[in-house]
Amino acid sequence: MSYFAHETAVIDEGCQIGEDVKIWHFSHIMPNCVIGDRCNIGQNVVISPEVILGKNVKIQNNVSIYTGVICEDDVFLGPSMVFTNVINPRSAINRKAEYAKTIVRKGASIGANATIVCGHDIGTFAFVGAGAVVTKTVPDYALVVGNPARQIGWMSEYGERLEFDVNGDATCPSSGEKYKLENQKVIKL
């Protein structure tokens, strides 16, 4: 076994678990999940059947990742954040055939207690603030906060707020990387 699983973790059959993965206390990895190398799965996490996690995904405590969710490489999921997978759930009605897909793109971060309503993707290096309720797709590099979540700015790949000048140019204050804003889209130069 090339990964660590705490003795209280439950890992069902058919899972593919990469190198150097850590699965902590009371977490449950359900059948046929794919977990990439170097993922860290915190305490009391549930990963539903057929969920796909890329490499280096960090999942904090008390997160449930439901069928239909895909997290690309380097995603951060904050404590107690929530995914949904059905728009109109009812206890007495089976809607498994209606699961909506949600993709969290490379490098995105989702803050503590945020809720992602299914069918709305989170863009590359986007940043969802703590407690936000995402009800529409989040663009690449966007910073969204509130309920419902609304965009208030842009973030660098380093996790710093970008301040664009009149020419649409910005520099990350921590990394020195350059970014361009054109037509409400950010690209890294």
pTM equals 0.96
Per-residue pLDDT band at 132 (split at 50, 70, 90)? very high
pLDDT of residue 98: 87
pLDDT of residue 186: 97
Strand order in the sheet with 169-171: 169-171, 178-182, 185-188
What is the per-residue pLDDT across 47-75, written as a single tens digit (0 to 9) for each?
A: 999 999 999 999 999 999 999 999 999 99
On average, the pLDDT of the chain sits at 96
Arithmetic mean of pLDDT, 72-94: 94
Residue 97 has pLDDT above 90, yes or no: no
Residue 21 has pLDDT above 90, yes or no: yes
Superfamily of domain 4-155: Hexapeptide repeat proteins (2.160.10.10)
pLDDT of residue 96: 86
Residues 6+ apart with CB under 8 A from 182: 168
pLDDT of residue 35: 98
Residue 118 has pLDDT above 90, yes or no: yes
Per-residue pLDDT band at 1 (split at 50, 70, 90)? low
Which stretches of 45-168 are assigned E, i.e. beta strand? 46-47, 52-53, 58-59, 64-65, 69-71, 76-77, 82-83, 102-104, 109-110, 115-116, 127-128, 133-134, 142-145, 150-155, 161-162
Residue 182 has pLDDT above 80, yes or no: yes
Arithmetic mean of pLDDT, 104-125: 97
Domain ranges of the chain: 4-155, 162-189
Looking at per-residue pLDDT, the higher value among 88 and 143 belongs to 143
